[in-house]
Every structure is written in structure tokens, then in C-alpha cells.
Chains A and B, each alone.
Chain A
């Protein structure tokens, strides 16, 4: 990777804001536009941005590949787990009303965990695809 001072400094300045925005989109999704999918994409975009500027090796150090691969599966498992938790607490599959004594709070809790699952899977998959593509280039050279 070429050494480019301006790009590196700006990237370092921007990274925390991108990550913060991803978290905002994730947790504010109930009140404004956004949600798990968009937050996952923004999270992945932050790491991809880092990878583009600092090189793939550094991005791999920041977010190692096994973590990315397990994120893909863990997200779906969280989502499915919310459904199973509903079953165990005596409701239907993906029934959020039983997750809390107060049904409305149960809904909030269910939506929260489901969104976490979606965000985890989406960012894992996006990052994995980016790693795969970027890696191909290196091998082919």
C-alpha cells in the first residue's frame, strides 16, 4: 500500500465517527430510520474503508478472519435464538410478547435482539465478501 499521509490522517479522524454512526443507526432504529441491516452495512463499510487505506493485512489484524466468519453464523443464531427463547417461555416461535412480563417491553426486547442478529450477520457477510475479493487480487498477481 502506498504511504499517503493525508488519507491516513483523515481515515483515522473519520473512523470513530463512522463507528459511532453505525451504533446510532443500530440502536436508534426504533425511533428514526435505520435498523440492523443498515447498521451492519455501515459497520462493514468502516472496516472496508480502513482496509482500503491501510491495506488488507492491517484490516485483518483489526478484524481477524475467524471472527468475521463466526459473526456470519452467530447473527443467524441470535435471531433464531430469540425465536427459541419465545418457545421456551411458552409462546410461539418468534413470539416477543412472552419475553417480558410486560408484553410491550417484551416486544422491545425481541426487536432489539433480532436487530442485533441481523446487524451481526450482515456486517460479517459484507466484510467476508470484501476480504475474499481483495485477497483474490493479491493471489493472482
Chain B
């Protein structure tokens, strides 16, 4: 993954960058499988590696396949992103250790979900049960967000096309 990132940052051939982005997404999906988050891994593989690669290729079709030379030196953006990265790494030091059973996330509502699910919902995939039943409102909001995104794309791109016709 690190190699893919470095090559993406260095390369000027946008087609190669898009393909590498897809590879990166697949590697990320395998990492998520290793962390037992199969549902998220599936989403990453289908959306990150599949759909967004296709959309990037569609965008690439509209522009040139070589990235333009930057007009100024990238030192300031580099410094800013390094600083943000350092702050984020510093923030992770405060998190509980990976797979620590005493972490707050594991002792708050998770035991209730895991123990009650058999009587209340009886769906073997706990992720689905939490997503669609216990957290139904969140998923409703999520679906509405997806819908709004689609409506926004329609609003932006369709008017453009009508303007051009006359």
C-alpha cells in the first residue's frame, strides 16, 4: 500500500494513477478483512475499487491523461499535510490498544447488542441487525444523503447540458 501511495504521488500519468488507486482500494479491502470487518471490506471493494475507478476513468475521458506541471513548489501544502498527519498520529496515542476488550466501545452497548440479538431480532449477521434495526434512523439518514448526492449531481450536470443546446 505504501508503494502504491508513493507511486500515485510521484506519477504524472493519470491513467496509471487511477489503476493504482483501484489496487490501493483492493489492498485496503484485504486489510479490512484481516480486521474482521467483512461488510466494510465488501463495500470498499465494490465502491472504492469498482465504481469510483469507473467514474475516475469517465472523468479522465473528459480531460488530458497527463497531469500538468505544478506552477509552484509544493512545500507549504506538504508542510500542512505533514503537520495534520502528525496531529492525527498524536491523537491515536490516546486511543485504547487494538482489540482491547476493555475499550469503551466494547463495554457500552455492544454487550447488549450481542446478547439480546437472539431474542429481539434473530438475525445472524449482527452488522445488518445494528444497521437496519437498532440504528434504523442513522441508515435512513444515510440513504437520504445518498439520494441528495444523486439529486445534486443531476442538478449540476443537467442544467449545463440544456444551456449548451440553443
Binding site for B on A (CB under 8 A): 25, 29-38, 41-42, 44-45, 48, 52, 69, 72-73, 75-76, 79-80, 83, 94, 96, 103-104, 107-108, 110-111, 114-115, 117-118, 121-122, 124-126, 128-130, 132-137, 139-140
Binding site for A on B (CB under 8 A): 38-39, 41-43, 46-47, 50-51, 54-55, 58-59, 61-62, 119-125, 127-129, 131-133, 136-137, 139-140, 142-144, 146-147, 149-151, 153-154, 157-158, 160-161, 164
Nearest first, the 9 closest Cβ-Cβ pairs linking A and B are A125-B150, A33-B38, A133-B58, A94-B136, A111-B132, A41-B46, A132-B157, A107-B121, A30-B123
B147 touches A75 (CB 8 A): yes
**What's the least CB distance linking B120 to chain A, in Å?**
7
B121 touches A35 (CB 8 A): no
Picked from B58, B59, B143, B164, the residue with its CB within 8 Å of the CB of A121 is B143
Choose among B61, B119, B164 the residue with the greatest number of A CB atoms under 10 Å from its CB. Answer: B61
B132 touches A114 (CB 8 A): yes
Alpha-carbon separation in the docked complex, A79 to B143 (Å): 8
Contact A37/B43 with A45-B51, A130-B54, A137-B58 known, Cβ cut-off 8 Å:
yes
Q: A83-B136, A111-B129 are in contact. List 16 more A-B contacts (CB 8 A).
A: A32-B125, A41-B50, A44-B51, A69-B154, A72-B151, A75-B143, A94-B137, A114-B139, A122-B143, A125-B147, A125-B150, A132-B154, A132-B158, A133-B55, A135-B161, A137-B62
B59 touches A133 (CB 8 A): yes
**What's the least CB distance linking A106 to chain B, in Å?**
10
A29 touches B150 (CB 8 A): no
Contact A129/B150 with A35-B39, A139-B164 known, Cβ cut-off 8 Å:
yes
**What's the least CB distance linking A30 to chain B, in Å?**
5
With a cutoff of 8 Å between Cβ atoms, the chain A residues found around residue B50 in the complex are 41, 45
Alpha-carbon separation in the docked complex, A33 to B122 (Å): 16
